[in-house]
Amino acid sequence: MYLALFVSFLKIGLFGFGGGYAMLPLIQREVVDLHGWISVSDFTDIVAISQTTPGPIAFNSATYIGYTAVTNAGFTTGQGILGSAICTIAVSIPSLVIMTLVCAFFFRLKDNPWLQASLSVLKPAIIGLIASAALMLMNEHNFVDYKSWIIFGAVMIASIKKIDPILLIVLSGVAGLILY
Amino acid sequence: MGNSSITFLKPRHVFGFNGGPQPSGFRFIGTADYKETETLKSCQTEFRLIPPVRLLIESRLAIDLVELQSAFQFYSSLMSLVKQYWELFLVFFKIGAFTFGGGYAMIPLIRKEVVDKKKWLGDDEFMDMLAIAQSVPGPISLNTAIFVGNKRLGFKGSLFTGAGIILPSFIVILLIAILFTQFKDNLVVERIFKGIRPAVVALIAAPLLGLGKSAGVKLNNLWIPIVVALSIWLLNISPIYIILISILLGILYYLFLKLKTKR
């Protein structure tokens, strides 16, 4: 199981272009769809927790999933901690290797036409990845009734108006407490 | 052996260092080459005024002092190195601990610490680095941390900055995970999260417009994100294939343009 977690998060680190949200569909596919380590609503909760705690989403989910996946499988807390350490390290290894190579060989990578060429399609594609993360989370687990859609709409508008996301999460938590 | 000649009462030449700490109460009797036994011999032949035994004792003392001082120097240089690594770790630990909302929120803070305060990177260098950190896989904050660490103290430095940026969220999330798995089935927690879940989706979707603009999405390439989103959402295609295909398409398009301009 540790090996499977390690490989999954190595993949997530290696193909995690475009930072946090763009990694979400990949993480969801690996840990929810393929391995079934956690449920969709657990996954959404992790994203929520990531948004309210410091640190990048990729690490947060790696740490959290490493722990929950191992303990859900019936192992102890200590083994869960080991699991989260393994996932966190696995997700960092590709960055470490690639950035070390970048530092050693191509400092002028920025102006490299090949890199620019590969990014020309990848950048818009990353927007699509983020959109698909939102679409995949719009399911019956997260949207239980019309009230969910009201919260969704309100937060959407507030967020476009640049209201602090942490405040919005706290407020919607309060709303959930009152409405349900 | 001009260098190893013996001089009396000239503290300046002692140990071959200038300006090092000078222990008082000793009669300094040698230069840096003391370790050679030949020097001791020449001591005895050149300066018969001093009883050989006393000379031997004093020279031994001096040798111990040389060793002590070099040990001290080694220790202090070790300490300054440790301090440098610690500083790298600490700066990124701070950034990791105080930025909410991931990579993009961290950039201004990283810039303030690394460029303005510590002056580890110039402004141009920072912008270049940012461009690279965004175009390679992995979390942007980690990529930035690794780059800065590597620039400062090489590969080992990047291990320290990487650990610094990872540890805060690792500790926080681990604590939450341990606590949350116990409270998850609590009804109050469940109600709170019923409210939060749709908000999370909105928070992911809301920045899309702005991000799209900065990623250079225009009317003529709007089909790319739409096709990507639909193929992942409806056709359940792995994002890994999407990424590989996008890179390939980008390169093919570049080759196509190159061929066209040649003709």
Q: How far, in whole angstroms, is CA A86 from its chain's centroid?
A: 17
Can you tell me the mean pLDDT for B103-125?
A: 79
pLDDT of residue B17: 43
Q: Which of B185, B244, B246 to mutate to test the interface with A (most CBs of A within 10 A)?
A: B246
Residue A169 lies in a domain: no
CB contact under 8 A, B196 and A169: yes
pLDDT of residue B22 exceeding 50: no
Query: Which domain covers residue A72, as residue numbers?
Result: 2-142
List B residues 68-107 in contact with A (Cβ-Cβ < 8 A). Answer: 96-104, 106
pLDDT of residue B42 exceeding 70: no
List B residues 232-251 in contact with A (Cβ-Cβ < 8 A). Answer: 232-233, 236, 238-240, 242-243, 246-247, 249-251
pLDDT of residue A165: 77
Nearest CA in chain A to B220: A124
pLDDT of residue B10: 42
Q: Which of B138, B176, B217 sits opposite A124 (nearest CB)?
A: B217
pLDDT of residue A85: 92
pLDDT of residue A166: 77
Q: Tell me the per-residue pLDDT of A27-76, one tens digit each, with 9 for 90 and over.
A: 888 888 888 888 888 888 888 887 777 777 788 888 888 888 888 888 88
B32 pLDDT band, cuts 50/70/90, is very low
- Asked whether the beta carbons of B63 and B56 are under 8 A apart, the reply is no
CB contact under 8 A, B202 and A109: no
Residue A176 lies in a domain: no
B103 pLDDT band, cuts 50/70/90, is low
Residue A36 lies in a domain: yes
Q: Smallest CA–CA separation between B94 and chain A, in Å?
A: 10
Residue A152 lies in a domain: no
Residue A9 lies in a domain: yes
Number of domains in chain A: 1
Residue A131 lies in a domain: yes
CB contact under 8 A, A56 and B141: yes
Contact residues, chain B, for A47 at CB < 8 Å? 200, 204
pLDDT of residue B30: 46
CB contact under 8 A, B106 and A84: no
* Closest C-alpha among A127, A123, A128, A91 to residue A12: A91
Q: Tell me the per-residue pLDDT of A105-162, one tens digit each, with 9 for 90 and over.
A: 756 666 677 777 877 888 888 888 888 888 888 887 788 888 888 888 888 888 888 7
Which residue has better confidence, B51 or A161?
Answer: A161
Residue A89 lies in a domain: yes
